[in-house]
């Protein structure tokens, strides 16, 4: 296992809203951790998912692919996604890939939780 | 008073190799970043790092199939007003030119020592990167979720070329130095 692969923490910020705290590298190697956090949140009824990229160290194309897979699952389950904590560089990558059209990018956790409700 | 002539000299800033172990692209991007410190503003350096990492990961995973005994060679140059990074893998020769890579099928001359400058589309890259990734199509299941590497590289740097020379597959990335 890649020791740099992101660790994912799950916490609740409302009855139907969960934040996934991402720490480390978002690459394909982080997929099991993200899948586990997502499934845990879904099982417990999350309708709003907020990705906290404040601890992101590095993201590559495999990580982007992993987020696309997450989006597919969330879309099937009618869940909304928002994110905060992205650096300027990774915001640019979200815009380039148009991930920002499917995952609302916000400046703070509060605004991301609110955005995922709309 | 006349303006200084443009700086067109080429100077090598670094030359190193990384073993073809998935994850070693992180080492490559760190070494490249160190070698160009102060020559590229932070925002453009971030883009160059992403491009270097993607090209190196491709060489490791698809060029060398993750064989740790094979090294990916990386060189960094200052060429006039730009920084150039080359990332080289051993190309089709690794697989005996048996047609199991896209460039084997497309370009037999790549195995006989001839130099061939190509458009990057579909050559030396996984086949799912030959088409432009489209998020809507990926979400609809019409494209694989992955396949963003080549797309990212092209948008991160000012220029990208793919060359086959002496059987080696070389990606050349160029980024304007200095300024904002």
Q: Please report the DSSP string for chain B in residue order.
A: -PPPPP---EEEEEEEEEES-TTTHHHHHHHHHHHTTTTS-HHHHHHHHHHHHHHHHHIIIIISTT-TTSEEEEEEEEETTEEEEEEEE-GGGGGTT-S-SHHHHH-GGGGTT--EEE--TTSSS-GGGSS---HHHHHTTSS-S---HHHHHHHHSSEEEEEEETTEEEEEEEEE-S--
The pTM score is 0.86
* CA gap A5, A24 in Å, rounded: 6
pLDDT at B100 over 50: no
Nearest CA in chain A to B58: A61
Are B135 and A99 a contacting pair at CB < 8 A? Answer: yes
Residues of B in contact with A69 (CB under 8 A): 145
Chain B residues with CB-CB distance to A74 below 8 A: none
pLDDT of residue B125: 61
Residues whose CB is less than 8 angstroms from the CB of residue A3 and which lie 6 or more positions away in sequence, other chains included? none
pLDDT of residue B8 exceeding 70 = no
Percent of chain B, pLDDT > 90? 66
Q: List, in order, residues 6 or more apart from B100 with CB less than 8 Å away.
A: none
Token digits for B73? 């060679």
A61 CA: distance to closest CA in chain B (Å): 5
Query: What value of ipTM does the predicted structure carry?
Result: 0.92
Considering only CB atoms, A68 lies closest to which of B57, B138, B151, namely: B138
Predicted pLDDT at B118: 46
- Residues B119-157 have pLDDT tens digits of 444 445 665 566 899 999 999 999 999 999 999 999 999
CA distance B57 to A60: 9
Chain A environment of B45 (Cβ under 8 Å): none
Q: Do B147 and A65 touch (CB under 8 A)?
A: yes
Residues of B in contact with A58 (CB under 8 A): 26, 53
Q: List the single residue in A with minimal CA-CA distance to B30.
A: A58
For the cut 80, the answer to whether the pLDDT of residue B94 exceeds it is no
Residue A53 Cα to chain centre, angstroms: 7
Least confident of A49-53, B120-124, B164-168: B120-124
Write the CA distances from A25 to A4, A30, A60, B9, B73, integer angstroms: 6, 7, 8, 37, 24
Instruction: State the pLDDT at residue B6.
Output: 54
């Amino acid at each position: 296992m890649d020791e740099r692969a992101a660790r994912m923490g799950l916490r609740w910020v409302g009855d139907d809203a969960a934040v996934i705290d991402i720490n480390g590298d978002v690459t394909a190697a982080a997929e099991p951790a993200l899948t586990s956090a997502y499934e845990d949140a879904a099982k417990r009824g999350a309708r709003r998912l907020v990705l906290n990229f404040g601890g992101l160290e590095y993201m590559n194309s495999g990580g982007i692919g992993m987020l696309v897979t997450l989006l597919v699952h969330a879309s099937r389950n009618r869940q909304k996604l928002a994110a905060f904590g992205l650096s300027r560089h990774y915001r640019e990558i979200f815009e380039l890939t148009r991930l920002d059209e499917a995952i609302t990018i916000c400046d703070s956790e509060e605004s991301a939780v609110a955005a995922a409700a709309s | 008073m006349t303006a200084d002539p443009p700086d067109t000299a080429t100077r090598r800033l670094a030359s190193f190799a990384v073993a073809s172990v998935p994850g070693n692209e992180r080492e490559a991007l760190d070494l490249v970043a160190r070698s160009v410190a102060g020559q590229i503003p932070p925002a453009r350096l971030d883009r160059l790092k992403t491009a270097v990492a993607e090209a190196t990961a491709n060489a490791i995973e698809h060029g060398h199939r993750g064989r740790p005994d094979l090294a990916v060679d990386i060189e960094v140059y200052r060429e006039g007003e730009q920084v150039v990074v080359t990332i080289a893998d051993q190309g089709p020769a690794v697989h005996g030119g048996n047609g199991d890579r896209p460039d084997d099928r497309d370009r037999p001359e790549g195995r006989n020592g001839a130099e061939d400058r190509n458009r990057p589309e579909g050559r030396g890259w996984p086949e799912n990167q030959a088409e432009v990734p489209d998020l809507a199509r990926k979400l609809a299941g019409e494209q694989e979720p992955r396949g963003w590497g080549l797309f990212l590289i092209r948008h991160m740097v000012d220029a990208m070329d793919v060359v086959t020379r002496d059987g080696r597959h070389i990606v050349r990335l160029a980024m304007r130095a200095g300024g904002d």
